[in-house]
């Protein structure tokens, strides 16, 4: 069982914010497969899809971004998933808007959801799909209001394009593994 975990914050006021792009990805995968999210066996929502005969659980933590690790561990335990079975999708302030980067492992890079998952798992050894949200007109100073801010109409257009590619990359991870997905989608120009 593969798990595609989209990070975000659960309240409706966070919908369409930059920080919730991980939720946007798994929401689109669920819609594409005609399934809805229901309560999981822990602090997360889950939806099951099948991709080319392979079962996949889509996961949305309900713990808020900074405590995502609790939900990830609960989902992994319930579904008996290994670290190699998960792909975590999240926003990345270090990447320009309209880009994405797959990695097989690595540091949190300043992303608090990833930081808590690493702490909870005791390991950086899990795949992640980072979706860039940095814009050229980003205000100086504190970035929390920026990442918790809603996308402009122009940004949303860019994000819709990158999410199409991110959906394909996530399903490639399910079908062929992280190395294959990295080789095919890290080169993509969006």
Contacts of 147 (CB under 8 A, 6+ apart): 17, 18, 19, 91, 93, 133
Does residue 31 register a pLDDT over 60?
A: yes
Average pLDDT for 59-65: 96
CB-hemisphere CA count at 13 Å for 178?
20
- pLDDT of 77-112, one tens digit each? 999 999 999 999 999 998 999 899 999 999 998 899
Write down the catalytic residue from 19, 51, 70, 79. Answer: 19
58 and 6 in contact (C-beta within 8 Å)? yes
Q: For 2-185, CATH number?
A: 3.40.50.1470
User: Bridge-partner residues for 17, per DSSP?
Assistant: 150
Sequence-ordered strand ranges (E) for 62-119? 86-96, 100-103
Q: What is the mean pLDDT of the chain?
A: 93
- pLDDT of 134-147, one tens digit each? 888 777 766 888 88
Mark whether 79 is an active-site residue: no
Nearest C-alpha neighbor of 162 from the set 115, 95, 108, 112: 95
**pTM listed for this prediction:** 0.94
């Amino acid at each position: 069982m593969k798990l595609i975990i989209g990070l975000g914050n659960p309240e409706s006021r966070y919908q369409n914010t930059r920080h919730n792009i991980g939720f946007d990805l798994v929401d689109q995968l669920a819609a594409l497969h005609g399934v809805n999210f229901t309560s999981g066996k822990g602090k997360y929502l889950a939806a099951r899809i099948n991709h080319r005969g392979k079962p996949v659980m889509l996961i949305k933590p309900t713990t808020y971004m900074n405590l995502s690790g609790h939900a990830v561990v609960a989902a992994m335990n319930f579904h008996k998933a290994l670290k190699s079975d998960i792909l975590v999708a999240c926003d990345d302030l270090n990447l320009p808007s309209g880009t994405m980067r797959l990695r097989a492992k690595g540091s949190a890079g300043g992303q608090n959801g990833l930081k808590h998952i690493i702490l909870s798992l005791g390991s950086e050894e899990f795949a992640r799909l980072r979706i860039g949200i940095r814009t050229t007109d980003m205000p100086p100073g504190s970035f929390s209001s920026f990442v918790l801010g809603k996308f402009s109409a122009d940004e949303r257009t860019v994000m819709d394009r990158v999410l199409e590619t991110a959906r394909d990359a996530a399903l490639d991870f399910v079908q062929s593994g992280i190395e294959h997905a990295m080789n095919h989608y890290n080169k993509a120009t969006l």
